[in-house]
Chain A
Amino acid sequence: MTGELTGTAALVRLALRRDRWLIPAWVGFFVAIATFSATATVDLYPDESSRIAAANTINSTAALVALYGPIYDPTSLGALAMIKMTAVYAALLSVLMVILVVRHTRAEEETGRLELVGAGVVGRAAPLAAALLVVGGASALMGLLAAAGLAGAGLPISGSLVFGAGWAATGLCFAAVAAVAAQATTGGRAANGLGFMVIALAYMARAIGDLAEAGPGWLSWLSPIGWNQQIRAFAGDRWSVLVLPLAATALLMPASFALRRRRDLGSGLLRDQPGPAVGRLSSPIGLAWRLQRPLLLAWTAGSALLAFVMGSIAHNVAGLLDSPGMAKIIQQLGGEQGLTDAFLAAELGLFSTIVAAYGISAVARLGTEESAGHAEAVLATASPRIPWAASHWLLALAGVAWLLLVAGVTTGLGHALAVGDSSQVLRITVAALARIPAAWVLVGLVVAVWGVWPHATAVGWGAYAAFIVVAEFGQLWGLPRWVMDFSPFTHSPVLPGPDAKLAGIVWLTMVAGALLAGGSAAFRHRDLAG
């Protein structure tokens, strides 16, 4: 056993050296977002009655409850301020933790670098242990700094502490999930995908559970993100709920080490099966499809499930509105149908944001194909550069469109079955399709960046995060309109609903086209990166 962990300290140093910018940047980002939200809310809702009004509005708007979860104590300033932090940002920081764990375990193994390390005086379990130490440390640091930031912004100390502890425990729990995913799969991409899928399921389970009138409430208790809500920071401070994520971590981490012990370096749990001796692939697009297909299939299944559930609970949302103050708003929104539409439009907006992430990760393959040397092999044949690049971005565009089509049809089906009105399928599908161009812009952005700087495709993720933050917090922080207009998502038509801005479709498509053309042209004139 002594041998298994030898060298962990050295690997921790290596990981910290590789991530010396990444970890501080992300930790700083999350801490800053939490702190800003706290100060902005303190300024915005100075007295209790304004807070109660705001909290009641949120609690009675199903779209917001599904997205963020309910506010457990309407009088609490902290609970109102942290509404977006408890579920959405806990999920996002979990994404970061998954990426970090996979980056230092499976992805290293896949590139063969771990072999270089593993041949040194390094125990078999050391890389995994080092990754978990680093990521656990990052989670703890993030939780601690967030607690300090919130307390500094004027929120109650004990609430701030339990909030920070909740973030840290959630991050740790998903780090453990990623550790297991990294052992079970054979590629970094697949491990990340598995980890993200668990996060998405956890987020979705609590969304359904939180709409207790519409769905089974116990689902929230199956989800680490639901646990983080149930800690109820600033609304009861239930420290004891922290036992759940910590217990899950305590189960998953030893499991990941046990899996690691049972397999060889480079292999997953499943053995590679022999494949065909003769290939049918004969074009760059065929190759790109072959490479992107597994990811797209997984996303298709996930989107269909999520969208169907969302669609089938949509009609219940009007029933949730028991507060008398809401009657007027309902009227303004065009009665119960208007309210359902608003919920559906919000869900489809969320879908287009999520599907844009698929677009980015699919098209980012251009960068990984190039750095892995695969592009060199293809471009040394008679395949010209632009068709090779276009095969990847066309598939990313098509994938985005397909996923939104799937989301639209299944949301429509769910809703149509629930209300017994088959015309809803077409109506909602059209509404989903109208969201495609915004997600295309992000694909275009990645291509434009990659065309000039082949190693900078991560800029696409940075812009994506920025757009989400601006959309979420722009109003709260009082950002000027033109800053918020940078985000393509603000220009998508809001359908179904009365005042869709259809011109956005044209503009967004043109911007995406210009970015794609520019990026591809730049790629044609530059050196291939090795």
Chain B
Amino acid sequence: MVGLVKHFGRTKVLNELNLSVAQGEVHGFLGPNGAGKTTTLRILLGLLRADAGTMRLLGGDPWLDAVDLHRRLAYVPGDVALWPTLTGGEVIDLLGRLRGGLEPQRRASLIERFELDPTKKGRAYSKGNRQKVALVAALASDVELLLLDEPTSGLDPLMEEEFRHYINEVRGDGRTVLLSSHILSEVEALCDRVSIIRDGEVVESGTMAQLRHLARTTVSADLTTVPEGLADLPGVHDVVVQGQRITASVEARGMAPLMAAMSAGGVTAVTSAPPTLEELFLRYYQKAQP
């Protein structure tokens, strides 16, 4: 999708959003609360209509070809609402059939793996179990694309592990997944590529390796003499000098100049903490605040 714009009344929720997900990849979709992730997914489903921008989904137009596209995809909403009087099993079968059929074997194995009791009425499920019903309903059908909106919110760690196994199997089958999430470890473990959205714009998009590259390494070193102007080196941030010891957070491009400068000062010890995505994400998230 290119240049996607969506207003709710006067507020602009999506602001020229560009997002591309390649076939066969597991794509992570991250961003602070209210950034527009759910809105984007609902536009992709043709539930909302974009005000401007162009989109292709599986070769079709999400608004005009919604029904045909929906045969080829499955969706897990962020807020799972089940009909209070229908059992979980009935919901799974209903949604599966409405999509054009589900695979009984896969349904059975998913129910077993997620330890779901399909005989309970919708209102009797706990939050995590409601989430499981929606997951089983989506994952049990043989579709090309899965759109998952915070699919593991409410799942316990064992079930989350189960979910990760399953997504890896899905990836093995060559299917595509777009997964919105706030759980960084999950994204890090599962996703081939990640897009970060903030205030309705994608601010960063790339493979995990590329993003890691953007993340900063924390370097601390003991020097015999501390050279002047370390803080002015390109790509070097947050320099703190305590006597002979300095610490700094360094982008990939700042690494070489910093090393050169430090060896000129005589290095006696150096440690570097590997870049964590966590820090990168937090940086993007925090910029949301004024």
Indicate with 1 or 0, residue by residue over B112-156, a CB within 8 angstroms of chain A CB atoms: 000000111101100000000010000000000000000000000
Interface centre among A272, A377, A527 (most CB of B within 10 A): A377
**A466 contacts B by Cβ under 8 Å:** no
Contact (Cβ within 8 A) B93 A187: no
Contact (Cβ within 8 A) B83 A282: no
**B55 contacts A by Cβ under 8 Å:** no
Which of B42, B67, B77, B98 is in CB contact (< 8 Å) with A283? B98
User: How many whole Å from B271's CB to the nearest CB in chain A?
Assistant: 46
With A272-B123, A281-B90, A528-B47 in contact, is A381–B84 under 8 Å at CB? no
Contact-residue size bin, chain A (C-beta under 8 Å from the other chain): 35 or more
Determine the distance from Cα of A374 to Cα of B80 in the docked complex, in whole angstroms: 9
Q: Which one of A284-292, A299-307, A400-408, A424-432 is at the interface? A: A284-292
User: How many whole Å from A182's CB to the nearest CB in chain B?
Assistant: 15
**A384 contacts B by Cβ under 8 Å:** yes
Contact (Cβ within 8 A) A376 B67: no
Contact (Cβ within 8 A) A277 B118: yes
User: How many whole Å from A218's CB to the nearest CB in chain B?
Assistant: 39
**B66 contacts A by Cβ under 8 Å:** yes
Which of A282, A294, A527 is in CB contact (< 8 Å) with B94? A282
The DSSP consensus for interface residues of chain A is loop
Residues of B within 8 A of A382 (CB): 67-68, 70-71, 98-100
Contact (Cβ within 8 A) A278 B77: no
With A279-B86, A380-B75, A527-B48 in contact, is A373–B98 under 8 Å at CB? no
Contact (Cβ within 8 A) A377 B95: yes
Contact (Cβ within 8 A) A378 B98: yes
Determine the distance from Cα of A516 to Cα of B48 in the docked complex, in whole angstroms: 22
Contact (Cβ within 8 A) A266 B119: no
**B89 contacts A by Cβ under 8 Å:** yes
**A10 contacts B by Cβ under 8 Å:** no
Residues of B within 8 A of A376 (CB): 42, 47, 77, 81
User: How many whole Å from B196's CB to the nearest CB in chain A?
Assistant: 23
Determine the distance from Cα of A484 to Cα of B219 in the docked complex, in whole angstroms: 83
User: How many whole Å from B140's CB to the nearest CB in chain A?
Assistant: 12
**B165 contacts A by Cβ under 8 Å:** no
**A186 contacts B by Cβ under 8 Å:** yes
Which of B47, B48, B89, B95 is in CB contact (< 8 Å) with A278? B89
**B213 contacts A by Cβ under 8 Å:** no
Residues of A within 8 A of B87 (CB): 274-277, 279
**B79 contacts A by Cβ under 8 Å:** yes
Determine the distance from Cα of A15 to Cα of B29 in the docked complex, in whole angstroms: 39
Residues of B within 8 A of A282 (CB): 93-94, 97-98
Residues of A within 8 A of B134 (CB): 377
Which of B45, B91, B119 is in CB contact (< 8 Å) with A380? B45
**B26 contacts A by Cβ under 8 Å:** no
Residues of A within 8 A of B250 (CB): none
Determine the distance from Cα of A337 to Cα of B142 in the docked complex, in whole angstroms: 68
Residues of B within 8 A of A527 (CB): 47-49
Contact (Cβ within 8 A) B47 A379: yes
**B92 contacts A by Cβ under 8 Å:** yes
**A383 contacts B by Cβ under 8 Å:** yes
Residues of B within 8 A of A73 (CB): none
Contact (Cβ within 8 A) A266 B48: no
Residues of A within 8 A of B93 (CB): 278-282
List the 9 shortest-distance A-B pairs measured between CB atoms, nearest first.
A279-B90, A279-B93, A373-B81, A275-B87, A381-B98, A282-B97, A274-B119, A277-B89, A380-B75
In the complex, given contacts A186-B123, A377-B95, A382-B98, what are 8 additional A-B residue pairs having Cβ atoms less than 8 angstroms apart? A272-B123, A275-B120, A278-B90, A279-B89, A281-B90, A287-B83, A373-B79, A380-B77
